[in-house]
Amino acid sequence: MAFELQRVVPWGRNFDEYRRMFTLREEDLSKRIISFGDGPAGFNAQMTTLGYQVVSLDPIYQFSKASLGQRIRETKDEVLAQLRNNEANFVWTTIKDIPELEQIRMEAMQTFLADYEAGKEQGRYVPHALPDQTPFQDDEFGLGLSSHFLILYAKLGLEFHLQSIREMLRICQEVRIFPLLDLDAKESSVLPDIVDFFSKEYTVSIEQVSYEFQRNGNRMLRIAKSSFGMDRPVKNSIN
Ligand SMILES: C[S@@+](CC[C@H](N)C(=O)[O-])C[C@H]1O[C@@H](n2cnc3c(N)ncnc32)[C@H](O)[C@@H]1O
C-alpha cells in the first residue's frame, strides 16, 4: 500500500533526547549508526555536525523538503492538542509544559529540515519502510536504533516487529529500541514475545535509562550479537 503524506503526522526528537533514551556513550556514538523510523528527528543532523556517522531510514524520506515542512505546520496543533488531552500520561520535569515541548519539537524538526536535502544527497536519509529488506550488507552497522516506532506501535502485530528486528539485526551488531510502552503508556503487549524470541540467539537486556517523558517510559531494549561490554549489566529477563 502506498505511504500517503496525508496520513503522516511528523514529530521529531533531538540529539540530547536520543543520547538519553539510548544511553549513548562516546564508544556508542563513534560506531556507524543506523536509525530506523527516524522521521523528522534532529538526531542525524546534529550527529553529523558533531562529526559522527548516522544513516536514517523512514518512509517519509520519499517526500520533498517543502511537502514535509508543510505537513509539519499542518499537523503540529493537532498533536499538541492530543498531548494536552493526555497530559497526565507524561512527566513534566525535564520538559516543563506544552509550550516548552512545542519549542523543543519544532527546533528538532527545523534542524532536520535544514539538513534534509544535503543529507539525502549524501545518502544519510534513505526512504525505507520496515520490515522490508534494507539495501545494506550484513553487519554493516555497529548500532541500530528505533525511537518511538517499534514496540510502541504494538497494533502493527508481533510478526511485524519480529521481522523488522530480524532485518535490523542482519545489518547491525546491536539494536536498541525505546520506549517499551504502547501509545496508552502501558507496557507494550509485544514486548515479552520479542524478548523470548531473540533471547534464543542473542544477548537481550532491558535497561533503565535517564530519559522519561511518557510516564514510566524509562527503559530500552538491547539486543546484541555478542555479550555486552563488562561495564554494562546483562539481563536476559524483563525487570
Ligand atoms: C513517532 S515517529 C518517531 C520519529 C523519530 N524516531 C523520533 O523519535 O523523533 C514514528 C516514525 O515511524 C515512521 N514509520 C511509519 N511506518 C514505518 C515503517 N513501516 N518503517 C519504518 N518507519 C516507519 C513514521 O514515518 C515516523 O517518522
Q: Quick: pLDDT tens for 192-203.
A: 999 999 999 999
> Considering the chain, what is the average pLDDT of its residues?
94
Q: Is 61 in the pocket of ligand 1 (CB under 6 A)?
A: no
Q: Is residue 130 part of a domain?
A: yes
Closest approach atom of ligand 1 to CA 129: 20
Mutate to test the pocket of ligand 1, among 43, 149, 165 (most ligand atoms within 8 A of CB): 149
Q: Does 7 score more than 60 pLDDT?
A: yes
- Mean of the pLDDT values across residues 73-86? 94
Label residue 1 by pLDDT band (50, 70, 90).
Answer: low
Q: Quick: pLDDT tens for 39-66.
A: 999 999 999 999 999 999 999 999 999 9
Closest approach atom of ligand 1 to CA 39: 27
For residue 233, the model assigns a pLDDT of 45
Q: Is residue 232 part of a domain?
A: no
Q: Does 12 score more than 90 pLDDT?
A: yes
Report the DSSP beta bridge partners of residue 208: 219
Our measurement of the distance from residue 214's CA atom to the centroid of its chain's CA atoms, rounded to an integer in Å, reads 14
- Mean of the pLDDT values across residues 182-189? 94
Q: Does 71 score more than 50 pLDDT?
A: yes
Q: Is residue 74 part of a domain?
A: yes
Label residue 3 by pLDDT band (50, 70, 90).
Answer: confident
Q: Is 129 in the pocket of ligand 1 (CB under 6 A)?
A: yes
Q: What is the pTM of this model?
A: 0.94
C-alpha cell recorded at residue 163:
521481522
Q: Does 229 score more than 60 pLDDT?
A: no
- State the CB neighbour count (10 A cutoff) for residue 42: 27
pLDDT > 90 fraction of the chain, expressed in percent and rounded:
90
Q: Is residue 196 part of a domain?
A: yes
Q: Does 209 score more than 60 pLDDT?
A: yes
Residue 236 CA to ligand 1 center (angstroms) comes to: 27
Q: Is residue 236 part of a domain?
A: no
CATH number where 138 lies: 3.40.50.150
Q: Does 158 score more than 80 pLDDT?
A: yes
Q: Does 238 score more than 60 pLDDT?
A: no
- Domain that includes residue 208, residue range: 5-224
125-129: long-range pairs with CB below 8 Å, 24+: 125/38, 125/44, 125/56, 125/58, 125/61, 126/55, 126/56, 126/57, 126/61, 127/57, 127/58, 127/59, 127/60, 127/61, 127/62, 128/36, 128/57, 128/58, 128/59, 128/61, 129/3, 129/59
- Mean of the pLDDT values across residues 69-91? 95
Q: Is residue 230 part of a domain?
A: no
Report the DSSP beta bridge partners of residue 55: 34
Q: Is residue 239 part of a domain?
A: no
Q: Does 237 score more than 60 pLDDT?
A: no
- Structural domain count of the chain: 1
Q: Quick: pLDDT tens for 94-129.
A: 999 999 999 999 999 999 999 999 999 999 999 999
Q: Is residue 53 part of a domain?
A: yes
Backbone angles phi, psi at 204, to 5 degrees: -120, 135
